[in-house]
Amino acid sequence: MSTSVVQVKQLSDELGVAFGTSGVRGLVKDLTPTLCFAFVRSFLQTVCPSASSVAIGMDLRPSSSDIAKACLLAAESFGAKVEFCGALPTPALAFYAMQNNMPAVMITGSHIPFDRNGIKFYRPDGEISKADEASIMNGLVEVPEFVSDQAAQLALPVIDHSAVELFKQRYTSLFPSNMLQGKRVGVYEHSSVARDVIKELLAHFGAEVISLERTETFVPIDTEAVSEEDVQKGLNWSKEYKLDAIISTDGDGDRPLIANEKGEWLRGDILGVLCADYLQATHVAAPVNVNTVLELRGTLQSPERISLRTRIGSPYVIAGMEDLLQQSPDARVVGYEANGGFLVGADFVVNNQVLHALPTRDSVLPALIVLAMSYEQALPISQLTANYPGRYTASDRIKDIPTDVSRQLIADIKTSKAKQTELLSAIAQESEVLEVVSIDETDGLRMTLNSGDIVHLRPSGNAPELRCYVESKILRTAKRSVSEILGKVFEVSNV
């Protein structure tokens, strides 16, 4: 069979496909069988050269099965035995691979629109690093001449369900089996690959499970920027079905979306603090865009909880957790992101059971922790944060704005006091003069104002979007400010 040598970076650059904040992302039309083959082959050659087997899974996007075929061919060409886990949550695949000391490949575009997709890579010890990404991109691989034809003719293997079963066992042994007795929990299913796993777990713990809006077409749910439509759905479902909670996730099941008994969706960064409190974490790694409740709650712990701010993206949070463990090997380390994804950086003992480390985003653990806290404290979910400091974050985005345009806009605002004044005039109250008192450039432009509010602008690492986060003492102020700032940015961006 004739082959040609391909450099992954050169081919990916030609097609406009690249690593985002977590994994490879691109338009489906650009994720060709040749490119997907090259990525997976390079991953195995450069990052896991001694691998004898590899676990492969996927989400429910219409394009995922075709991409999986090219990935299977790449693994087989490397000489690795493939364990095909079918459609399953990303953290389930990652956990299975870690427990069996093998690498894994997940075909998913997470929350981005269905015309896009992606691939995530896992070493036997967890998610790949940014250095690993560079190695993959620089790899030279041999690609069969007719790989597209081979992929088109390939039938996917019989699914091995071991990964899903192991993932469920991780949680059924951790919490009281009756903790949801008498509770009505809605599951906003849409096209989440985690929907059936979540329903089975909720039923195991005794809940009456209400299925909400299951679809066979792919729906891109962004847990970090919940749409107004989904905000209203939560409120309506809670009233209609008299629910104690609503549980959902993004497309690949690594980011949770959790609503209280009122149907109000919890911010992912507040959810992260709840989970850190429950697990009695001593150290937390979290990206720069999460709410400052992290530090404010940490000062109340004894000893004071140590936190480390990172760039946005799970590889950076994982690197932060590793840094914390190097400094304090016995630390109880966790990480979380504004999208709600929760990472466990060390083994914990919970209810006399071991919760093994899972250094990749998970949506199931934070959902179950919130439900367990409600059960153990005999409080509705809305009351779990009653004693938290009054800091509120709102976020949204401008879609379809080229990344280079976003970067230039941010650079202009950073260097021009006049542009800062113009931008902040959009959110200033009558006679109020807002000024930037400090700037954090860890990721994008995070401006602390003289009012105490925080305005953060950054280009998305996954899609052509400009994201805005505003933290304030008042929720309605944060929401209004996000809308006004994005409106002002849109006005001057000419997109």
Catalytic residues, by residue number, are 110
Mention every residue, 6+ apart, whose C-beta is less than 8 A from residue 153. Answer: none
Which candidate, 338, 494, 325, 478, places its Cα nearest to that of 408? 494
CA–CA dist 248, 226 (Å, integer) = 12
3-state secondary structure of 480: helix
Tell me the Cα Rg of the chain.
Answer: 22
Pairing between β-strand 353-355 and β-strand 358-362 as defined by DSSP bridges: unpaired
Rounded (to 5) percent helix, strand, coil in the chain: 40, 25, 35
187 three-state secondary structure:
strand
- Nearest-angstrom CA–CA distance, 231 and 183: 22
CB 350 within 8 A of CB 279: yes
Backbone angles phi, psi at 392, to 5 degrees: -125, 140
Angstrom distance (rounded) from CA 108 to CA 251: 8
136: which residues sit within 8 A by CB, 6+ positions away?
8, 39, 42, 43, 46, 47, 121, 128
Distance CA 95, CA 9 (A): 29
Three-class SS of 311-332: CCCHHHHHHHHHHHHHHCCCCC
What's the distance, CA 160 to chain centroid? 25
